[in-house]
């Protein structure tokens, strides 16, 4: 089709054949960084997950060893653990400064 033999193509385009994948990866990485620096949150998140091994924790583990504790201290521990869990109930709105 091109009028060149495979050997000629390998000789003329040796660098592209050897380093083409790395060249494209560098260009895509550069574009991703540009997008992240311009404020694209998805690009930042992807970069951190792919390159910095960052992840969002899917669960929280708590080591609560309660031995010979009173019921009150157990209840206090339970309440402190529950305080760490985000509430799904809507919070009441603060009173308006204009209402009396």
Is residue 24 domain-resident?
A: yes
pTM: 0.42
Q: Could you give the C-alpha distances from 93 to 2, 84, 86, 90, 96, in angstroms and in order?
A: 72, 21, 17, 9, 8
Q: What is the pLDDT of residues 40-85, one digit of tens each?
A: 999 988 888 888 888 777 777 766 665 666 778 778 877 887 777 7
Domain encompassing residue 7: 1-55
Is residue 20 domain-resident?
A: yes
Is residue 66 domain-resident?
A: no
H-only helix segments in 1-70: 6-12, 14-37, 41-51
Total structural domains in the chain?
Answer: 1
d(CA 45, CA 56): 10
d(CA 69, CA 67): 5
């Amino acid at each position: 089709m091109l009028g060149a033999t495979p050997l000629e193509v390998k000789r003329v385009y040796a660098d592209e054949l050897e380093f083409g994948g790395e060249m494209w990866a560098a260009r895509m990485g550069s574009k991703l960084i540009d997008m992240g620096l311009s404020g694209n949150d998805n690009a930042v998140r992807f970069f951190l997950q792919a390159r910095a091994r960052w992840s969002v924790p899917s669960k929280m583990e708590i080591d609560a060893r309660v031995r010979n504790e009173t019921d009150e201290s157990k209840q206090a521990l339970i309440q402190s653990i529950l305080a760490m869990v985000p509430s799904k109930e809507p919070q009441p709105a603060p009173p308006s400064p204009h209402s009396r």
